[in-house]
Amino acid sequence: MTNIVEVSGIEVYAYHGCMEEEERLGGKYLVDVEIYTDFSESAKTDKLIDTIDYVVIRKIVVEEMNKRSKLIEHVGYRIQQRFKKAFPNLIKSRIKVRKLNPPIEGTVKEVAIVIEG
């Protein structure tokens, strides 16, 4: 059985980007996570140890977002790698990193990357 654990809209203020201003001033990011797993055991036992803990998902995201990178692609990859190590029952994951109000020409609400695997 394949199930999905979702944690959406993890808000983080971080300092990613190629421009000097982004490193100095930072910006707001939103991260959405889907973890594909089999949580049929936890559905039966009602025990947190038998599933993927939302608190751990958020903790990993925040820790990796707090490490400066030029590219959000790099941050997303690091998050994915941490999930693989932290969750032995992970089948696959989907991570979406959204950079709000990016400093590019014109009005752009957000840019995003998605990593699946």
Tell me if residue 86 falls in helix, strand or coil.
Answer: helix
Q: Which residue numbers are catalytic?
A: 99
Measured between alpha carbons, how far is 88 from 104 in angstroms, rounded to an integer?
39
DSSP 36-85: EE--HHHHHH--GGGS--HHHHHHHHHHHHTS--S-HHHHHHHHHHHHHH
Residues 6+ apart with CB under 8 A from 63: 82
